[in-house]
Structure 1
Amino acid sequence: MMLPAHELPCLVIDEAALQHNIETMAAYATASGAVLAPHIKTHLAEAITRRQLEAGAWGVTVATPGQARWAAEYGARRIVVANEVLEPAGLDFLAGLDARGIWSACLVDSVDGVRAMDAALTRPLRVLVELGSEGGRCGARTSADGTAIAAAVADSFHLRLVGVECYEGVLPGADEADRLQRVDELLGRVGDLAVELDRADAFAEQPILSAGGSAYFDRVAEIFGAVELTDGRRPLVVLRPGAYVTHDHIAYQTLSPFGTRVTGFQALRPAAELWARVLSRPEPELAILGVGKRECPYDLDLPLVLRAVAPSGEVRDATHTEVFAMNDHHTYCRLPVDSEMAVGDAVALGMSHPCTFFDKWDEIPILDSSGRTVEIAYPQVACTHPDAERSIDPR
C-alpha cells in the first residue's frame, strides 16, 4: 500500500486485498458444500460486514449479545452467538430476534447452563450443544455429557436444540501435526454426537454442524461434510472464520490452509498495515517509532517492519530492521548502523492477529490502489451496543 494521506499513526486497509479475501473464503465455502457465517467480532464494522453479506454469507457469527445487536443493525438475518449466554437481558434480546425475522442461536455446554438459561427465558431460543477437548476452552468434554445436555434441552420449557458445534482453534499440541490430529478427533466427536442425536429425533430443525476458525476450516468442511444423518440427510455445515477477512503478515500467514492443505484457491493477502513516524534515532542501531501497544497488537507477535518512506517519497531499504520491544506509544526498532531510515520517515508495519488490532481503532480508512480513501470502517470498540439494557447499581 502507498503512504496514506492521513495523520500518523494510522491503521489502513487495502480494499483490493480485503475484497479478495472475502470472495476467496465465500468461494471456498460454496465449493466445499458449506455455508459461511463469518465471525464479525474480528472487526465489528458495518462497512466490512456489508461486504461479507453481499458476497453471499449465510449469516454472521458474534461472541456476545451486544455484538449481536450490532449484527442485526448491520443487516444480518442469521446470527450465531458462538458462546454460552447466561445474562437474562442478553438471552431476552436473542429470543426476541425471531419477531424481527432474524434467526439466532447460542451455545450451551452443561446441564447447569441449560437450567440457568431456561429459568431466565420467557420465549423460545435456539441452542447448539458445544463439545470441547481437554486443554481447550468451553465445551462438554465427553459425548456422554453432550447427550445429557441435549436431554436437558428437550426437558426445558424454552430451549430448542438445532445443532452441535465446537471451536477447534485453541487446542494445544506438541506441533502442527499433533494439533491437526486433535482437531480431527474433536470434529469427529461432534459429527458422531450429531448422528446420535438425530437418530433420537432431538433436533427442532435441520441440524447444524458448526466450527471453523481461520486456521482449520478446511478440516471442518471435510469432516462435517462427510456426516450422514438418518435417511441419507446431511447437516447444514456452518463455517465461522473471522481473521481471514484481513488476514495478517505473521500468525495467519503461517496458519492459513490456503496454499498448503487447500489447493485450487489463491492465498489470502494481508490487507491491513499500520503506519507510524520515526520519532527518534537516539543510537546508531536504534529507531523509535511513534506507535505502541495502545495502537498495535502484541498478544501473539511483535509487528514486522515492511518498508519505510522518506518525506520526499523515496522508499528506504528496511530489510534488516526489526521490532524488538514496545511501550504504550513507542516501538523500538533494531536496524543496521548504515540504515538510511531517518527521523520523520513513515514506516509501514505488518501485524499479527486481526482480532486484536481492529479493537484499537474507531476509524479505519479503506484505500484503493492509488491510496484514495473509498470508505471508512468504524469498528464498534465498546463491549455492548448503546441500546443494550443496563443494570449497574450507581451506588
Structure 2
Amino acid sequence: MQFLSRWDSQRLSTTTRGIPLVDGLSAADIGSQRWSPARGDLALPALTLDETAFAANRDLFLAWCASASVAVAPHAKTPMSPELARSLRAAGAWGTTVANIQQVAVLLADGERRLLLANEIGGLASGRRLGALLSTYPDVEFHAFADSPAAVAALVEAARIAGRNELSVLVELGAGRAGARDRAAVEATIAAVLASDRLVLGGVATYEGAAATADTDETMRAIAALMARTIETFALVRAAAPGRPLIISAGGSAYFDIVTRALAPVAQADGNATVLLRSGALFFADHGIYARAFAELDRRGGLVIDGARHSAADGFRPALTLWAEVLSRPEAGLAIAGFGMRDASFDQGLPVPLRTFRDGVAQQGLAETLSVTRLNDQHAFLSVGPDSPLAVGDIIAFGISHPCTCLDRWRVILALDADGIVTRALPTQFG
C-alpha cells in the first residue's frame, strides 16, 4: 500500500533547490564534491544542517533524559527525514513519533518498528487505511491516541483489518487542541477501549504546548493544571489495566523539564510505567522560538545532568542555516535576497542574518547591520544601513525560527561538516 512517492536516492534532480546543475550526479557522490555554500557552490537558496551541532544537541538531550529517567520518541514530523529518525533511535531514542497515517507509512517503509502516533486518526475510513497499512507490518510495535469513543471506534476498525488483538491506545488529555477535556470524556474513552476485544490500554498522553500563552505565569498555571489532570487520568487507566506496562507521554520540546518534574515521580512510584517525551524540534534548535524557550528554561534552573547544572541556551546549538544571495540593491537602505515564504518559516519570527560572504570570504561585522523586515513568496526584504557595502552577489547565512515550519519547505537538506563543507544529502518525505 503506497502512500507517498519516495525521493530518488540514486540520482539527484537538477530541479531540487540547493543542488547545482550537475548532470547525472549520484547521491553517493555528494560528499566528494566539496561544495561550500559560502563560496556560492550551491544553487541558492539552500537549507543546510550542521551535523556537529545536531549531534551535540542529540547527545545533550539524551544524556539529560537518561539522568532524569525518562525516554524520548523524537517527533519525526519536524524533519520527516527517515535517515535522521534512524540516527536518533540508534543513539538511544525509545522509538519515533509521527503525526498521521502518511508519516506512519514513510517510517515503516524505512524500517522503523516502534512508532507512537501522537494524534487521533479520524473516522472509520481512516481506521481502514491505517489497518491496511499495519497489516503489511505485523512486527511493528504501535501506539495511538484516542480522546473519545469515536476515536476508539476508528482504532478498533484499524485493528480488525490489521488482524491485531492488542493495539495499544493512549488516552489523550487536552487543553487548547485535541484531547479529552474532563473526567467524563476520559471515562467514556477508557470504557470504549475496554469494551473492544482488539484494543488494550497503553497509557495516557497530553501536549502541554497547546496550553501555553504569551504570559509566562499563566502558562505555568495552565501546564500545572494539565499535569494534574494527566496524573488523575493515569490513575484511572492504571486501575483499568492493573498489570500492563504503561506509557505517560507529553510533548516536551519547550517544557520538557516541567512535564518531567511532574510525571517522573508518578512513573517511579508506579514501578511499571515509562515517561515518554516526544521532543523533536530541540534537536535542531534555532535562532528564535527555541532560543527563547532555552533561555526560559535556564531561568527555571537549567539542565541538571547527573547532579551538574548546565545552561540550555549555551548547550543547544542552532543546526539549521538558510543560505541566500543578494539579488538587488534597488534603493538606499534596501536589499533584496533570493528567498521568501516558500523557503523559510515566518510564523514564529523572521530569519536572522548571521554571516555574509563575498567570493567565499567572510565579511566581518556586516550581518549585524542587516535585518529582514518582510517576505514575499521568493523575495526577502532586508533593511541595510545607508552606507552599507552589501552588494549584489553577496551570500548571506540566515538563522531561522521554528524548525517544524521551515524544514517542510525542502525536499533535500544538505548536511555540512565543521568546516562548512557539504557531506551528504538528506531527503525529506513530507506528504
What TM-score comes out, normalization by structure 1 length? 0.90
Q: What is aligned with 2:356?
A: 308
Q: Choose which of 317, 323, 327 in structure 1 pairs with 2:372.
A: 323
* 1:281 matches 2:333: no
The structure-2 alpha-carbon separation of the partners of 1:174 and 1:336, relative to structure 1 and needing over 3 Å to count, comes to closer
Question: Is contact 1:162-1:204 (8 Å) kept?
Answer: no
Offset at residue 215 of structure 1 (A) = 0.4
Q: Choose which of 66, 82, 93 in structure 1 pairs with 2:102.
A: 66
Whole-Å Cα distance in 2 between the matches of residues 85 and 204 of structure 1?
A: 27
Kindly, what percent of the aligned residue pairs are identical?
A: 36
Larger mean CA deviation between 45-54 and 2-11 belongs to: 2-11
Whole-Å Cα distance in 2 between the matches of residues 258 and 48 of structure 1?
A: 26
Offset at residue 312 of structure 1 (A) = 5.4
Offset at residue 204 of structure 1 (A) = 7.0
* 1:271 matches 2:297: no
Q: What is aligned with 1:49?
A: 85
Q: Choose which of 119, 129, 137 in structure 1 pairs with 2:171.
A: 129
Whole-Å Cα distance in 2 between the matches of residues 83 and 50 of structure 1?
A: 21
Code of the residue aligned with 1:151 in structure 2: it is A
Question: Is contact 1:302-1:325 (8 Å) kept?
Answer: yes
Whole-Å Cα distance in 2 between the matches of residues 98 and 54 of structure 1?
A: 21
Q: What is aligned with 2:245?
A: 206
Whole-Å Cα distance in 2 between the matches of residues 61 and 375 of structure 1?
A: 25
Whole-Å Cα distance in 2 between the matches of residues 69 and 354 of structure 1?
A: 22
Whole-Å Cα distance in 2 between the matches of residues 158 and 224 of structure 1?
A: 28
Q: What is aligned with 1:386?
A: none
Question: Is contact 1:53-1:76 (8 Å) kept?
Answer: no
Q: What is aligned with 1:393?
A: none
Q: What is aligned with 2:199?
A: 159
Code of the residue aligned with 1:106 in structure 2: it is A
State how 1:163-312 maps to structure 2 within 5 Å.
163-198=203-238, 200-202=239-241, 205-227=244-266, 232-256=270-294, 259-261=298-300, 262-263=302-303, 264-266=309-311, 267-311=315-359
Larger mean CA deviation between 211-220 and 57-66 belongs to: 211-220
Q: Deviations over 1:93-119 (max 9, x none)?
A: 46437622x211111011222234324
Larger mean CA deviation between 325-334 and 90-99 belongs to: 90-99
Code of the residue aligned with 1:58 in structure 2: it is W
SS in 2 for 1:132: coil
Whole-Å Cα distance in 1 between the matches of residues 115 and 391 of structure 2?
A: 49
Q: Deviations over 1:271-327 (max 9, x none)?
A: 001000000011110000011111111122111111211125141512121111111
Q: What is aligned with 1:13?
A: 49
Offset at residue 157 of structure 1 (A) = 3.1
Question: Is contact 1:150-1:202 (8 Å) kept?
Answer: no
Question: Is contact 1:214-1:243 (8 Å) kept?
Answer: yes
Offset at residue 212 of structure 1 (A) = 2.2
State how 1:18-167 maps to structure 2 within 5 Å.
18-86=54-122, 87-93=126-132, 95-96=134-135, 99-100=138-139, 102-119=140-157, 121-122=159-160, 123-124=164-165, 125-133=167-175, 136-167=176-207
Q: Deviations over 1:166-195 (max 9, x none)?
A: 011121435112112211210121112111
Q: Deviations over 1:103-139 (max 9, x none)?
A: 1111101122223432454133211000112xx0000
SS in 2 for 1:280: strand
Runs of 4+ aligned residues of structure 1 deviating over 6 Å after TM superposition are none
Offset at residue 32 of structure 1 (A) = 0.7
Code of the residue aligned with 2:324 in structure 1: it is A
Whole-Å Cα distance in 2 between the matches of residues 84 and 208 of structure 1?
A: 17
SS in 1 for 2:355: strand
Larger mean CA deviation between 323-332 and 113-122 belongs to: 113-122
The structure-2 alpha-carbon separation of the partners of 1:95 and 1:157, relative to structure 1 and needing over 3 Å to count, comes to farther
Gaps of 5+ in 2: 1-35, 304-308
Code of the residue aligned with 1:132 in structure 2: it is G
Whole-Å Cα distance in 2 between the matches of residues 16 and 84 of structure 1?
A: 35
Question: Is contact 2:208-2:252 (8 Å) kept?
Answer: yes
SS in 1 for 2:329: strand
SS in 2 for 1:222: helix
